[in-house]
């Protein structure tokens, strides 16, 4: 296993740690070199570390030319698990409206479904700039809401940032759907053209075989007339 894949798997293991740190009922606090560490700060550290691995694994895989099939499959799954866990946990601690979490998570799985169907049709939907902007705004918004659990003054800025996330989520989903529709339409047209060409070739071959058989039958009849003629009667 190479390092980029190991970072992707590490991000998946961060998910239960993030949930446990944020939603556990027994709150805790401890000092590290004079710094007070609470549930919220620990969950923020876990979330940012996991988000950092998202940037690092892709960069290393491209730089070291270690892009693998398992990494390509696991990376989007790890991203969606991380974001979904963070949003559901924020709903659990009552700092995020449930409909926002459902909308963003539903968008993630809808886009994944479109990409899967597109891959089955033989074309790839690449990540758009809107999707990348949405991911960055998600990290900033979730981080702000995580801090707002301990510092309520940051709750309103966090919700404003989440509205920005919702906007980018809807805009990027529309962009992905447009790419998907265009790709599927082109794929269906290309398949239909191929099927029509195959049918036309089969029709021509059948016509040629029919003409060939007709020629052979006509030639055989002419040869028989040449070989045998009835005797003339005087």
Residues 208 and 110 in one domain: yes
20-86-77 Cα angle (round to 5):
105
Whole-angstrom distance, CA of residue 171 vs CA of residue 234: 101
Residues 46 and 18: beta-carbon distance below 8 Å: yes
Residue bearing the bigger pLDDT, 30 or 95? 95
Out of 94, 111, 143, a domain closes at 94
In a domain, 51, yes or no: yes
Whole-angstrom distance, CA of residue 226 vs CA of residue 193: 49
In a domain, 170, yes or no: yes
Out of 78, 94, 110, a domain closes at 94
Residues 68 and 162 in one domain: no
Give the DSSP letter of residue 38: E
In a domain, 227, yes or no: no
pTM for the whole thing? 0.74
101-103-109 Cα angle (round to 5):
100
Out of 61, 94, 127, a domain closes at 94
In a domain, 233, yes or no: no
Residues 117 and 73 in one domain: no
Name the domain count of the chain: 2
At 86, phi and psi to the nearest 5? Answer: -65, -45
In a domain, 234, yes or no: no
In a domain, 225, yes or no: no
Spell out the alpha helix ranges (H) of the chain: 3-23, 39-63, 69-92, 98-121, 129-148, 155-227
Residues 204 and 170 in one domain: yes
pLDDT tens-digit series, residues 17-61: 998 888 876 566 666 666 667 778 888 999 999 988 888 887 787
Query: Which residue reads 């700060």 in tokens?
Result: 41
- Per DSSP, what are the bridge partners of residue 149? none
Residues 114 and 202 in one domain: yes
Residues 122 and 50 in one domain: no
Residues 121 and 83 in one domain: no
Min mean pLDDT across 95-104, 143-152, 192-201 is at 192-201
pLDDT higher than 80, residue 106: yes
Residues 90 and 192 in one domain: no
pLDDT higher than 60, residue 222: no
Residues 143 and 48: beta-carbon distance below 8 Å: yes
Residues 38 and 58 in one domain: yes
Non-local (6+) Cβ contacts of 24 within 8 A are 39
Closest by Cα among 66, 58, 44 to 8: 58
Whole-angstrom distance, CA of residue 3 vs CA of residue 67: 11
Helix (H) or strand (E) holding 31: strand 29-32
Residues 104 and 209 in one domain: yes
In a domain, 230, yes or no: no
pLDDT tens-digit series, residues 108-164: 888 888 877 877 777 776 666 776 788 889 999 999 999 998 888 999 999 999 999
Residues 103 and 210 in one domain: yes
In a domain, 107, yes or no: yes
Residues 101 and 201 in one domain: yes
Domain extent for 21: 1-94
């Amino acid at each position: 296993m190479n390092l980029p894949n190991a970072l992707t798997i590490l991000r998946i293991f961060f998910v239960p740690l993030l949930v446990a740190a944020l939603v556990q009922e027994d709150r805790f606090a401890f000092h590290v070199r004079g710094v007070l560490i609470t549930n919220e700060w620990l969950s923020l550290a876990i979330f940012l570390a996991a988000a950092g691995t998202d940037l690092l694994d892709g960069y290393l895989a491209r730089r070291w030319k270690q892009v693998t099939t398992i990494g390509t499959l696991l990376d989007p799954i790890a991203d969606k698990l991380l974001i979904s866990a963070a949003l559901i946990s924020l709903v659990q601690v009552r700092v995020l409206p449930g409909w926002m979490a459902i909308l963003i998570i539903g968008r993630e799985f809808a886009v994944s479904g479109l990409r899967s169907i597109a891959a089955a049709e033989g074309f790839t939907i690449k990540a758009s700039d809107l999707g990348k902007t949405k991911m960055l705004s998600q990290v900033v918004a979730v981080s702000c809401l995580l801090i707002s659990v301990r510092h309520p003054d940051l709750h309103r800025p966090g919700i404003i940032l989440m509205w920005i996330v919702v906007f980018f989520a809807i805009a990027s989903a529309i962009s992905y759907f447009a790419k998907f529709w265009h790709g599927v339409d082109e794929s269906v047209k290309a398949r239909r053209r191929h099927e029509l060409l195959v049918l036309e070739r089969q029709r021509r071959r059948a016509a040629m075989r029919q003409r060939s058989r007709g020629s052979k039958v006509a030639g055989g009849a002419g040869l028989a007339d040449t070989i045998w003629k009835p005797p003339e009667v005087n």
